[in-house]
């Protein structure tokens, strides 16, 4: 399988993929540059696949890269998280998928109508399963929450992925509409069952700003 590595350069981050006669798949437009004997291929989808894309909003053009060399994906001020699948199945937040091993199956998960419309995740999310690595876009450092027949309540779209066995729905923060509105947490995301949820609640750019403010304060104090 390909080797995925997150590289930090002057506060920005990018993903380096090392291929040794292997294949990887990426989101459309993810390429930064590549070197070596690597061939890119973007297949035209079938009519059914095109209609499915219109209905789901899923990107139908996910190019593959095959060969031996190095592939670099576009840098960002946010971050990335590498998920190692071992026959497991995960549902990703909308827009979180970036790249994966060619052996990983990428498809679509349909949310319930109300949950999709009001939960911020949309009616459809990307599902990945199989064996291999998946690279996800994460706004900040990722926190892993393990659930054992438990319920996790999350405010906002901080959850970037959940493992297959977990159920997902959206509810009012309190039993009454007025109570939910006045609590400041009108709607919350509910994850329930046994599995794993990945959260990225703190954007990297906030960490960078705090670091710069701290450095400026230290410099001012020493002068």
The model's pLDDT over 101-127, given as tens digits with 9 standing for 90+, comes to 999 998 887 755 444 444 444 557 889
In a domain, 31, yes or no: yes
**Which pLDDT does position 172 carry in this prediction?**
74
**Which pLDDT does position 50 carry in this prediction?**
46
Question: For residue 65, what are the domain limits?
Answer: 3-205
Quote the Cα angle for 147-149-153, to 5°: 60
In a domain, 219, yes or no: no
Between 178 and 43, the more confident residue is 43
Looking up residue 152, the CATH number of its domain turns out to be: 3.60.160.10
In a domain, 214, yes or no: no
Q: Please report the beta strands in the chain, taking only residues with DSSP state E, as ranges in sequence order.
A: 3-9, 12-26, 31-41, 64-73, 79-92, 97-101, 105-110, 124-138, 143-154, 159-163, 167-172, 187-199
Cα dihedral 128/159/193/147 (nearest 10) = 110
In a domain, 215, yes or no: no
The pTM assigned to this predicted structure is 0.79
In a domain, 75, yes or no: yes
* pLDDT tens digits along 175-222: 544 444 444 445 788 999 999 999 998 877 666 666 667 767 777 776
**Which pLDDT does position 95 carry in this prediction?**
85
In a domain, 221, yes or no: no
In a domain, 18, yes or no: yes
Query: Per the structure, how many domains does the chain have?
Result: 1
In a domain, 197, yes or no: yes
* pLDDT tens digits along 137-166: 998 889 999 999 999 999 877 899 999 889
């Amino acid at each position: 399988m390909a080797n995925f590595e997150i590289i930090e350069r002057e506060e920005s981050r990018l993903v380096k993929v090392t291929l040794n006669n292997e294949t990887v798949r990426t989101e459309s437009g993810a390429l930064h540059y590549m070197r070596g004997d690597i061939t890119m291929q973007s297949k035209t989808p079938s009519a059914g696949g095109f209609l499915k894309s219109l209905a789901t909003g899923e990107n139908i053009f996910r190019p593959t890269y095959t060969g031996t060399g190095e592939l670099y994906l576009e840098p960002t001020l946010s971050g990335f998280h590498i998920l190692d699948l071992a026959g497991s199945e995960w549902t990703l937040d909308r827009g979180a998928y970036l790249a994966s091993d060619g052996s990983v199956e990428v498809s679509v998960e349909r949310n319930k109508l109300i949950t999709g419309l009001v939960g911020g995740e949309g009616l459809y999310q990307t599902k990945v399963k199989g064996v291999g690595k998946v690279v996800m876009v994460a706004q900040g450092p990722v926190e892993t929450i393990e659930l054992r027949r438990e319920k996790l309540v999350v405010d906002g779209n901080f959850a970037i992925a959940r493992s297959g066995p977990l159920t997902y729905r959206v509810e009012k923060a309190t039993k009454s509409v007025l109570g939910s509105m006045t609590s400041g947490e009108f709607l919350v995301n509910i994850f329930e069952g046994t599995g794993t949820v990945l959260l990225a609640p703190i954007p990297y750019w906030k960490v960078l700003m705090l670091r710069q403010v701290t450095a400026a304060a230290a410099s001012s104090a020493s002068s």
